[in-house]
Structure 1
Amino acid sequence: MRIARFSLDGNVAFGVVEGEDSQPDSLLIDIIRGIPFAAFERSGTKVPLSKVRLLPPVLPSKVVAIGRNYADHAAELGNEVPDVPFAFFKPSTSVIGPGDRIIHPTFSADVQHEAELAVVIGRLCHQVPRERAHEVILGYTCANDLTARDTQRAEKQWARAKGFDGSCPLGPWVETGLSVEQAGDLAVTCTVNGELRQAGRTSQMVNGILDLIVNVTEAMTLLPGDVILTGTPAGVGPLRAGDEVAVSIEGIGTLTNKVITRD
């Protein structure tokens, strides 16, 4: 099931996306009664996807991102793979949705794309044992962990480099129909203006989805709608104003955003 969050005539709602991706003009949203983090019903009121504005599929209280979780990406930046998951935060203000503009920050000359699988948490959880970690997952979506690489190198701390406004595009929806095993072996790609930049598989992750949930919840409580970013494969590179960047994940969808400069 694909659950989208959208705006229509000034109203915000959740809905289930129906139809085949091969026929995008036929995609519909069946508006739901309730929220996806609890029992809900389909209303039967269906709207063409083309008539709504897709929003970030969730509004996380926090985004917990995992760095250097693909060995080839760590190597391309001259870093070692850490012995344990290497986590950092992206604030809620970094989150934007599909089709939203990425405003290139004025303090950086080298903003780079990082295509990632995002795990969306479905319930409040803390100190989750590995054998139950799958129970706290609502589903999965696409993410772009935008990084001001020059700022990251210069400042050591990653707060500004990873947390600037708009640095965490998410979408286009949450796919709830994938098992952890399926999500653990999906193709992840990134294109810029149609040119392939990144191509990897989630099976290349050093630390898998369940292990990341265990590691993160050992330290903090996750709330419904919180997101864990699972790392990026090799091939990261710069984005310039005017570029269109698209993150695609097999079985989920494609997240597309355009880069602009601040007015």
Structure 2
Amino acid sequence: MASDITSDHEWSSMNTHDHPNHSYFGLLNTTSGLTLQPIKATKASPNAVVDEHLTWEQIMTARHMLITTANRVGWDQKLTVSLAELYIGLEGLKATGTNPRALILYHAVARKLWHEALRGRGKPFNVSRINNDLLVLLENQVRDSDHEDMRKIAMEAQKQMYELQRQTQIVQIKVPEGQVPQPLVLMDQRGGPDGAHLPRLSNLPQQKETYTTNLPSHATLGRAEDGRIIDGKGRILCSNWSQLVGCREKSSGHIHECSGCGEKSHGAQDCDRAQKALSADSSHR
């Protein structure tokens, strides 16, 4: 809408090139109050938040101080009134259900276009009237962005679910009918220097009732023929890593994983799950 884009106020097309001696001033908060200082001499605060990243509540709170300060330092009344009308228009749109994110972006873009027009660097822009073309454009951008964000969230959730399913396997454990399921005895009948941790499933009792529990797929499920502990992939784990002596070797032949839970941050001596297996192992010897 051309009438929305073109300002009907003469001051909105003010050109700085017609005023070579004109200087812009900003507000500086000093101990004696607000002081005008050339903008070129001031530096932006590192804590300043750009308009696009403000919340709706922050914009509504800051507008009062902005307009009050503009009047205090002697802004042209037409400028102050136009700025106030911008916020009135935004509030009205918010009340009728317009997406607040689109209004936040409109506030940022409209103020930039307005200031560029005042400085003579852009076309005249009437900030006091809501530019419907600009608002619709921003609403569409926000809608597309929301859809893209939701798609990314859904894809990430699906990815995490696949990973969880990959790491978890369902083990069916038979228990006698009418009995409360007992904790899984994580052991092999054979002993060894590594201790005994996870069972061979063939050793479990075969009854009608079942009890389901989740075990990490990377945890140890048995032993090699020579009695050494192996993980779920059949790899032989480092013996010293599972004992108090520990192991500092970094070679590929020393697999440092806990045979009780599969974690690499500790050995069996520091794992409650593995310690229970050791106790169970000693009771079966």
Under TM normalisation by the shorter chain, which class is it?
under 0.3
TM-score, L = length of structure 1: 0.21
**Structure of greater Rg:** 2
Structure with the larger strand share: 1
The structure, 1 or 2, with the larger RCO (C-alpha pairs under 8 Å, 6+ apart) is 1
